[in-house]
Protein backbone atom coordinates (compact mmCIF):
# COMPACT_ATOMS: atom_id res chain seq x y z
CA UNK A 1 0.00 0.00 0.00
CA UNK A 2 1.42 3.39 -0.94
CA UNK A 3 1.93 6.20 1.52
CA UNK A 4 -0.66 8.38 -0.20
CA UNK A 5 -3.29 5.65 0.22
CA UNK A 6 -2.53 5.48 3.95
CA UNK A 7 -2.92 9.26 4.23
CA UNK A 8 -6.25 9.14 2.34
CA UNK A 9 -7.52 6.38 4.63
CA UNK A 10 -6.45 8.33 7.72
CA UNK A 11 -8.18 11.45 6.38
CA UNK A 12 -11.34 9.43 5.73
CA UNK A 13 -11.18 8.00 9.24
CA UNK A 14 -10.83 11.48 10.72
CA UNK A 15 -13.84 12.66 8.71
CA UNK A 16 -15.87 9.66 9.90
CA UNK A 17 -14.87 10.39 13.50
CA UNK A 18 -15.84 14.03 13.00
CA UNK A 19 -19.26 13.00 11.72
CA UNK A 20 -19.79 10.75 14.73
CA UNK A 21 -18.61 13.22 17.37
CA UNK A 22 -19.41 16.60 15.79
CA UNK A 23 -15.94 17.90 16.59
CA UNK A 24 -15.20 20.42 13.87
CA UNK A 25 -11.49 20.39 14.66
CA UNK A 26 -11.18 16.79 13.43
CA UNK A 27 -12.20 18.06 10.00
CA UNK A 28 -9.24 20.45 10.08
CA UNK A 29 -6.93 17.57 10.99
CA UNK A 30 -8.39 15.66 8.02
CA UNK A 31 -7.43 18.60 5.78
CA UNK A 32 -3.87 18.24 7.01
CA UNK A 33 -3.91 14.52 6.25
CA UNK A 34 -5.29 15.18 2.77
CA UNK A 35 -2.50 17.70 2.20
CA UNK A 36 0.01 15.05 3.27
CA UNK A 37 -1.59 12.62 0.79
CA UNK A 38 -1.13 15.20 -1.97
CA UNK A 39 2.48 15.64 -0.88
CA UNK A 40 2.92 11.85 -1.09
CA UNK A 41 1.44 11.91 -4.61
CA UNK A 42 3.99 14.60 -5.49
CA UNK A 43 6.80 12.31 -4.36
CA UNK A 44 7.72 13.97 -1.06
CA UNK A 45 9.47 11.92 1.60
CA UNK A 46 7.91 10.71 4.82
CA UNK A 47 9.35 13.55 6.92
CA UNK A 48 8.00 16.17 4.51
CA UNK A 49 4.59 14.45 4.51
CA UNK A 50 4.48 14.53 8.30
CA UNK A 51 5.51 18.20 8.33
CA UNK A 52 2.84 19.07 5.75
CA UNK A 53 0.18 17.23 7.77
CA UNK A 54 1.26 18.95 10.99
CA UNK A 55 1.53 22.45 9.51
CA UNK A 56 -1.70 22.36 7.48
CA UNK A 57 -3.77 20.48 10.07
CA UNK A 58 -2.41 22.37 13.06
CA UNK A 59 -2.62 25.70 11.27
CA UNK A 60 -6.24 25.04 10.30
CA UNK A 61 -7.11 24.11 13.91
CA UNK A 62 -5.46 27.27 15.25
CA UNK A 63 -7.11 29.45 12.59
CA UNK A 64 -10.56 27.99 13.37
CA UNK A 65 -9.99 28.47 17.08
CA UNK A 66 -9.20 32.16 16.69
CA UNK A 67 -12.05 32.74 14.23
CA UNK A 68 -14.48 31.08 16.63
CA UNK A 69 -13.09 33.01 19.59
CA UNK A 70 -13.37 36.36 17.77
CA UNK A 71 -16.95 35.73 16.64
CA UNK A 72 -19.58 37.11 19.01
CA UNK A 73 -21.33 34.44 21.00
CA UNK A 74 -24.98 33.62 20.49
CA UNK A 75 -27.44 35.18 22.92
CA UNK A 76 -28.58 33.05 25.81
CA UNK A 77 -31.81 31.12 25.39
CA UNK A 78 -33.44 33.51 27.86
CA UNK A 79 -32.82 36.45 25.50
CA UNK A 80 -33.31 34.67 22.17
CA UNK A 81 -36.53 35.63 20.38
CA UNK A 82 -36.65 32.33 18.49
CA UNK A 83 -36.74 30.45 21.81
CA UNK A 84 -38.84 32.85 23.88
CA UNK A 85 -41.56 34.81 22.07
CA UNK A 86 -41.87 37.33 24.93
CA UNK A 87 -38.47 38.85 24.08
CA UNK A 88 -38.96 42.08 22.16
CA UNK A 89 -42.55 42.67 23.31
CA UNK A 90 -43.46 45.90 25.06
CA UNK A 91 -45.05 46.43 28.47
CA UNK A 92 -46.17 49.57 30.26
CA UNK A 93 -44.83 50.09 33.79
CA UNK A 94 -46.94 52.50 35.83
CA UNK A 95 -44.73 52.61 38.93
CA UNK A 96 -41.74 50.81 40.43
CA UNK A 97 -41.61 49.33 43.91
CA UNK A 98 -38.87 50.24 46.39
CA UNK A 99 -37.16 46.86 45.82
CA UNK A 100 -36.66 47.60 42.09
CA UNK A 101 -39.53 45.46 40.83
CA UNK A 102 -42.85 46.34 39.29
CA UNK A 103 -46.02 44.46 38.47
CA UNK A 104 -47.47 44.74 34.98
CA UNK A 105 -50.45 43.22 33.22
CA UNK A 106 -49.08 41.23 30.27
CA UNK A 107 -50.81 38.51 28.25
CA UNK A 108 -53.77 38.54 30.62
CA UNK A 109 -51.73 37.89 33.76
CA UNK A 110 -49.73 39.82 36.32
CA UNK A 111 -45.96 39.62 35.76
CA UNK A 112 -43.08 40.83 37.91
CA UNK A 113 -40.77 43.14 36.00
CA UNK A 114 -37.15 44.00 36.84
CA UNK A 115 -34.96 46.69 35.31
CA UNK A 116 -31.57 45.87 33.78
CA UNK A 117 -28.73 46.49 36.25
CA UNK A 118 -27.21 49.94 36.03
CA UNK A 119 -30.38 51.67 34.83
CA UNK A 120 -32.67 53.73 37.03
CA UNK A 121 -36.26 52.53 37.07
CA UNK A 122 -38.73 54.96 35.50
CA UNK A 123 -42.37 54.65 34.55
CA UNK A 124 -43.35 54.29 30.93
CA UNK A 125 -43.05 51.91 28.02
CA UNK A 126 -40.42 49.16 28.29
CA UNK A 127 -39.21 46.38 25.99
CA UNK A 128 -38.73 42.83 27.31
CA UNK A 129 -35.03 41.94 26.96
CA UNK A 130 -35.12 38.46 28.49
CA UNK A 131 -36.86 36.20 30.97
CA UNK A 132 -35.15 35.66 34.31
CA UNK A 133 -37.00 32.83 35.98
CA UNK A 134 -40.62 34.00 35.97
CA UNK A 135 -39.71 37.68 35.83
CA UNK A 136 -39.38 39.95 32.81
CA UNK A 137 -36.10 41.84 32.47
CA UNK A 138 -36.91 45.09 30.65
CA UNK A 139 -35.18 48.06 29.04
CA UNK A 140 -36.71 51.53 28.87
CA UNK A 141 -37.85 52.63 25.42
Instruction: Give 100-124 pLDDT, tens digit per residue.
Output: 888 998 888 888 999 887 777 888 8
- % the chain with pLDDT above 90: 44
User: In this predicted model, which residue has the larger pLDDT, 124 or 52?
Assistant: 52
Which uninterrupted H or E stretch holds 34?
helix 24-41
Q: Single out the residue of 95, 90, 104 nearest to residue 135, CA to CA.
A: 104
Confidence of residue 62 (pLDDT cuts 50, 70, 90): very high
pTM: 0.55
Q: Are strands 135-140 and 109-115 parallel, antiparallel or unpaired?
A: parallel
pLDDT digits (tens, 9 = 90+) for 72-102: 776 676 777 777 778 888 899 988 888 888 8
pLDDT of residue 20: 93
Fold of domain 77-140? OB fold (Dihydrolipoamide Acetyltransferase, E2P) (2.40.50)
**Residue-range domain boundaries for the chain:** 3-70, 77-140
Mean pLDDT lowest for which of 36-40, 55-59, 131-135? 131-135
Q: Single out the residue of 96, 95, 91 nearest to residue 107, CA to CA.
A: 91
Amino acid sequence: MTESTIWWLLAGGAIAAELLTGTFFLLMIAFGMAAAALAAHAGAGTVVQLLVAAVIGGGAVIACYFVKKRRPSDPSARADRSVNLDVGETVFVEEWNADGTATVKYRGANWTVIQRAGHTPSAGLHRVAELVGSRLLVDKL
